[in-house]
A and B are shown apart, each in its own frame.
Chain A
């Protein structure tokens, strides 16, 4: 086995997926938010919300393009970098991958129509309805790809007899134990992330002195949605941990630095590791047991139950903690804002708090990355849990390191390009100007 090819295949997969997931998350969440804004605008007959939908849709054209091209890259790269894995997995899990392309088709078609038919319908409601297939298509692509990922974590729907795959049942392979929590968590975390990013943009404009009600309305709407989706994310995250405790206990144990099996296990927050000794941590008594099985005194399997070469890397602990901390923080931020607005607290309009909201957008993206790194690194050394090791799935071709460099440059260009273009797009066309322009003719 060529270790350098394995190393670089992993590195390139990590790079592409970590980049794609940022745009994919926006792709899942933004259509829903546009739909909500346009609906509110339609119901309240308030041009501000309709304009929100319109401006977000304009920005979305850029992020969706990067999502599409990087998604195409990862889709083909799976076969290029992991040919053995795709040969094996293709026999069992090709169905949801195939269905995903229909979700893409569906989304792409209606997005094209939506973007190019503003003001073309007699009844604005019909134009709004076009967003429903876009939002469904985007969320369904996330559902299908997450089903594939769930399968990698909990393979089902076939029998392995003497190295031969028999009894393949494509439908069963889609409904793995990992699937419900994974889909739930991926969807809710995407919606939550987009709500906070859009809130962050509104807060930023307010901080820059654009004291327009448009931004206040956007901020308030997104913060309300932020509460809902951040609570849902945390709830489903808790279910995910319970799934892990039952089906992939070593992933949870590694993420919690939980070495010995014990009842009433403590939840460990941050800290550093000295051998198997945890130092400087924040310890919450018995909460790990609760997280794992809803019972403060339940037994939680420790990492030492697993042989050395099946233990996931211990660094996942920090990914887990970062994700959970951000999740909890976001619940507080959105709750403080909405509650404070209701009680007329003035400090929620203060500059420091607004800066805090600005931070919440990027932080949510950090949580997305941390969550995926936890999930994917925590599955190691397996590419297909219990069936195929990552090292056995990689390509045997040479020269992957050069491709890594080439793709790294490409993503760098895409990142800079999208930031520059998005900034220019909105700088030349501030809200006030656009509102004045559309006055009279409606939005």
Chain B
């Protein structure tokens, strides 16, 4: 009991980490493409590059960590989700592959590509969260049938469900919003006020569809009498905290004040909503077939993984600190005064 809750909590924290860092990356790609179209590219590209270049591989590892960890703690998820996600996950993988390698090809080679590629790159960054987010919809139940050959996904039901589309819209707006809030701060921190003001504008513009789609999901769940909705009502205080944090973040942006603090509030906003969502989903990993308890690995494996995890963290935390110190909280690097690329 304790171990499975610990396991899912650790995984959920890392997934939250991935959502934040990957959103910054995906959103940055999109804003870069958008600014190309609107001829504001010169304002943004420098700041985006300096943030992304040293960290994109680290972002990717967060994702790998999550899917390796979930198979480790809950091996049965490999069977259920592995079978039903074949197509959506493969699409996400292809996009991730093309996007990741294109990024490296362009930014490390010093050879700038075609405008068309940059646009594709920006759009791919929105399709990836969209295709990954269907996992959340599937986990709500009702889209998977157990047949004698194995679990099967009902694509028709999935693509005609309003819930699917509400979650897709939320994932895309969340990506843009997270990215814009972060880059607003990073640009100001680097002393690049022009880029900062542009990102601030984008952050404020995306905040509206974000909150509308979030509320839309809750309304849709209530309408369909979803099992999950009842649990969410019990946790409504946590959702309300998240809403207040959201308002506080946008207020700071509006007042052009304390951008760093705004980033912190934004992260807390997503953390509370993410955990409220996750806790109310408990104990199901895939409703109604898979729970955290019956899919859990053996105790000996769980203990071994937890020990490995703690040992891993002892290596990871100091090294992450070093990265933050060198590239994120480092004025002269962020502003581009230092040219120290290999």
Contact = CB atoms under 8 A, between A and B. Distances in A.
Interface stretch (B77-85, B179-187, B195-203, B250-258): B77-85
Interface residues of A, number: 78
Contact of B342 (A108, A115, A170): A115
A118 B341 CA distance: 6
A95 B304 contact: yes
A228 interface: no
Contacts of A171: 304
Contacts of A81: 82, 86
A380 to B, nearest CB: 22
Contacts of A65: 57, 100-101, 103-105, 108
A73 B97 contact: yes
Contacts of B216: none
B104 A170 contact: no
B64 interface: yes
Given A65-B105, A94-B301, A95-B305, A86 B75 contact: yes
A424 B71 contact: no
A68 B319 CA distance: 19
A400 B305 contact: no
Interface stretch (A215-223, A259-267, A270-278, A405-413): A405-413
A106 interface: yes
Interface string A288-304: 00000000000000000
A106 B102 CA distance: 23
Contact of A94 (B71, B103, B111): B71
Contacts of A334: none
Interface in B170-224: none
Contacts of B315: 102, 105-106
Given A76-B89, A112-B55, A170-B304, A117 B297 contact: no
Interface of B: 53-55, 57-58, 60-61, 63-65, 67-69, 71-73, 75-76, 78-87, 89-90, 93-94, 96-98, 100-105, 108-111, 149-150, 152, 297-298, 300-301, 304-305, 308-309, 312, 315-316, 319-320, 322-323, 326-327, 333, 338, 340-342
- 3 tightest A-B CB contacts, nearest first: A65-B104, A90-B75, A83-B82
26 contacts: A61-B342, A64-B104, A65-B105, A68-B57, A72-B60, A72-B97, A75-B64, A79-B78, A80-B89, A88-B75, A95-B305, A97-B68, A97-B72, A99-B312, A100-B68, A101-B64, A108-B57, A108-B60, A110-B319, A112-B54, A116-B342, A397-B86, A403-B86, A417-B102, A417-B105, A418-B101
Interface of A: 2, 54, 57-58, 61-62, 64-66, 68-73, 75-77, 79-84, 86-88, 90-92, 94-95, 97-102, 104-106, 108-120, 133, 165, 168-171, 395-397, 399-400, 403, 406-407, 410, 413-414, 417-418, 421-422, 424-425, 428
Given A80-B89, A106-B315, 4 more contacts: A65-B103, A65-B108, A112-B55, A119-B340
